[in-house]
Structure formats: structure tokens, C-alpha cells
Amino acid sequence: WIDIYDFLVILDKIQFPVGFRGEFQGTKAVRFKRMMSILAANQLPIYGTRVHLHDVIINVVRRACTYLSKSNPWNPQAEESVELSGELVDAWKKQFPELDDYDTAFDVGHLLAARFIQKLWEKRK
């Protein structure tokens, strides 16, 4: 398990397409916001404020394969869609039986939406 923001720190230091080093300009907050948007578009599951190695690996592989297929890696609705082998993904999931007990109904997009609503609510006060 790793906190989502610790994961962003790692992604900010690793070369693209595995990470995002050098892909975004601006402050750390601006770069992290862009990275979170991409992780949200790729529906990275989140458990509270943490992500699991299982999901991180699938996310990284999917983004790297999209890049290698010459799709637009920033647009998940790009014409060329990358599908990972269902058998391989299932075999990978079986390596982490402890995740069967967790609800994966939420992803990074939900976290971003919740934080946006919280900020709006705080401004109303």
C-alpha cells in the first residue's frame, strides 16, 4: 500500500511513459493535479487515500502500452484502445487475494470529485 500523494512523488521522478518526469511544467501542485487527472481518466482504484501495488502495476502497464501503440496517452477515449489480456490480468489479481475483501467502488476520479465538492462547500461558509 502507498498513499496516493507518495505515489505521485514517485511518478514525478520516473521517466515517461512509466512516470511523468518532465511531462508537465509548473509547481508541484500543478504537476500533481495533472497526474491525478490522468490517473482518474485511467480509473486507478483508490482505498481511502491509498493505492495498492496490484492496481498501480496494471495502471502503469496500460499507460505504457497505450503510449507504445501510438495512441494519445492523455486521452483514454482515443481511437486506438489498449486492452490488456484478461487472462494475464486475472492471473495478476490472484497474486493479491487480500484485495478480495476490499471494495473497489472508488477510483482517483471519485477522490478528485470529493475534494472539489469539499472546497466548494468550504467557500460557502
Q: What is the pLDDT of residues 80-125, one digit of tens each?
A: 556 777 787 777 777 777 766 666 667 787 777 877 778 878 888 7
Q: Which of 1, 5, 125 is nearest to 55 (CA)?
A: 1
- pLDDT single digits (tens) 24-82: 999 999 999 999 888 888 888 888 888 988 889 888 888 888 777 765 555 555 555 56
Instruction: Return the domain boundaries, the chain.
Output: 2-124
- Higher per-residue pLDDT: 98 or 5: 5
pLDDT at 106: 76
Q: pTM for this structure?
A: 0.70
Number of separate helices (H) and strands (E) present in the chain: 5, 2
